[in-house]
Amino acid sequence: MILIIDDDVAVRISIALLLEQKKYQTVAVATAVEAIDALDVHSVSLIILDLNFTIDTSGIEGMALLREIRATNATVHIILITGWATIDLAVQGMKLGANDFINKPWNNAHLLQSVKTLLDLQQQRQAQHPTRMQLDKQYQFQSIIAEDKYMLELLEIAGRVAQTDAAVLITGESGTGKELLAEAIHHNSLRKNRPFVKVNLGGISTTLFESEMFGHVRGAFTDARSDRTGRFELANKGTIFLDEIGDLDAGSQVKLLRVLQDRTFEVLGSSRTKTADIRVICATNKNLTDMVAKGTFREDLLYRINLIPLKLPPLRERKNDIPLLVAFMLDNLKELYRRPLLQLTPQAIKWLKQLPLPGNIRQLKNIVERTVLVSRKDLLDVADFSAQLEGAVPKADNTHLPDVGSMTLEETEIQMIKRALQFHQNRISKAAIALGLTRSALYRRLDKYNIPYDETSD
């Protein structure tokens, strides 16, 4: 996309028509404010920038905008264009980061040659890095919305690794799309027509780990009324995705390690050994290296699962992907809620890009969908989105604690767990969040204190 910035409508139209005849895509604006908004919304490869937006002929306005653009984008090519050119002005522009300087009235052939040369240079510079178009020709990554340079390099590695059976460890903050990337690796692998089995290790209690993962035969333990096929057997010939592997307790880590080393396992209650022909992909939002140093995660297990590490960046480090993600979400919501006229103002997109979004893509999706549901308008602006941001819930200062000496710490913990379970109607995930625990940590406490719970209620 080529951005044309000029206050003269005749100039904007003339340059746009000239470039579009050569099959270039353009967007034209009249002011500095519109230019910044356009850069937030569009993926711009080159800018043609007029130096004067008023009757002033000093070029100060254009130079100020040039500085502002360069402060946030060091790579986009910029051609300065003015009817009041001087050598000093040209030198100043080049020092501030412009790539070329053209006088008005311009020569069409000269302008087109400058545009072509700069875009060709950009393509040569990017040749060593994959483009989105190149990736889409080679791999099936359409479900992952990204044009960020780091993300494209990560997807290129994921695409090459997908063809092998190498173990992959995907790390990154919550909401960055780890499960989506794992599925994409599977769909680009030789096992794509085989099962893709997802396992949330944080939701499996210590006592149920073997039964869930390896299966059990009837009578293997109390309440084992029928045979159960484990997750590894379900994933045979395909891929198993072990999410939240950082939440796995020490005993379960040992049992998992054996399967990953030998590719064999035994069904609980049976001495018969089975083979696991599987591809293993793991994910976590924890720092497993730090956990190894602290002794809470096995070093040998880390080596088994970490052959190919892929770290997904948080959304705050790929803000230019936010307009793409929002557009994708909006297209889905148009169809889902039968509102084909839905649009966002450029100011709304710019505002969304400035949000901290600690919940990453998941939080962005939540904000966009909630705004669409609540607002009756088809053109959504900043006010519509800001109204839907969750406010901080003030905490009461009158927290009641038992008197010192009236209860032990263990008794207090038991009571808090029971109260959380009762309040959330035995839903383990909700109770765990309320207590500030992971599901697996809560399961361990339930087992430790023999607190009864309903495994089917969550």
**116 and 215 housed in the same domain:** no
Measured CA distances, 294 to 2, 14, 288, 305 (Å): 52, 66, 10, 19
Sign of CA dihedral 232, 456, 246, 239: positive
pLDDT digits (tens, 9 = 90+) for 62-97: 888 998 888 888 788 899 888 776 667 777 887 888
Residue 44 domain flag: yes
**280 and 331 housed in the same domain:** no
Q: C-alpha angle 427/431/437, rounded to 5°?
A: 130
Question: What percent of the chain shows pLDDT beyond 70?
Answer: 91
**140 and 254 housed in the same domain:** yes
- For residues 237-247, average pLDDT: 95
Question: Domain boundary residue among 99, 126, 153?
Answer: 126
Residue 355 domain flag: yes
Residue 302 domain flag: yes
Residue 67 domain flag: yes
Question: Domain boundary residue among 254, 276, 311?
Answer: 311
**304 and 320 housed in the same domain:** no
**Structural domain count of the chain:** 4
Residue 400 domain flag: no
CATH number of the domain that residue 181 is part of: 3.40.50.300
Predicted local distance difference test score (pLDDT) of residue 263: 87
**Which of 14-23, 336-345, 349-358, 388-397 shows the lowest mean pLDDT across its residues?**
388-397
Residue 391 domain flag: no
Q: What is the pTM of this model?
A: 0.64
**344 and 419 housed in the same domain:** no
- Domain of 298 in residue numbering reads as 133-311
Question: Domain boundary residue among 126, 141, 160?
Answer: 126
pLDDT digits (tens, 9 = 90+) for 99-132: 888 888 888 988 898 898 888 877 766 555 678 8
Predicted local distance difference test score (pLDDT) of residue 386: 87
How many CA atoms within 13 Å lie on the side-chain side of 187? 13
CATH number of the domain that residue 48 is part of: 3.40.50.2300
Predicted local distance difference test score (pLDDT) of residue 125: 63
Exposure pattern of 366-396 as b/e (b: 16+ CB <10 Å)?
Answer: ebbbebbeebeeeebeeebbeebeeeeeeee
Residue 73 domain flag: yes
CATH number of the domain that residue 333 is part of: 1.10.8.60
**421 and 442 housed in the same domain:** yes
**356 and 301 housed in the same domain:** no
**324 and 433 housed in the same domain:** no
**353 and 291 housed in the same domain:** no
- For residues 13-30, average pLDDT: 92
HEC sequence for 28-71: EECCHHHHHHHHHHCCCCEEEEECCCCCCCCCHHHHHHHHHHHH
Per-residue pLDDT band for 391 (boundaries 50, 70, 90) equals very low
Residue 402 domain flag: no
**156 and 270 housed in the same domain:** yes
pLDDT digits (tens, 9 = 90+) for 185-241: 999 999 999 999 999 998 888 888 988 899 888 866 767 678 888 899 999 999 999
**Which of 203-217, 279-293, 398-412 shows the lowest mean pLDDT across its residues?**
398-412
Q: Is 54 exposed, middle or buried (0-12, 13-18, 19+ CB in 10 A)?
A: exposed
**pLDDT at 392 exceeding the cut of 50:** no
**pLDDT at 397 exceeding the cut of 50:** no
pLDDT, averaged across the chain: 86
CA–CA distance, 298 with 366 (Å, rounded to integer)? 36
**140 and 181 housed in the same domain:** yes
**152 and 301 housed in the same domain:** yes
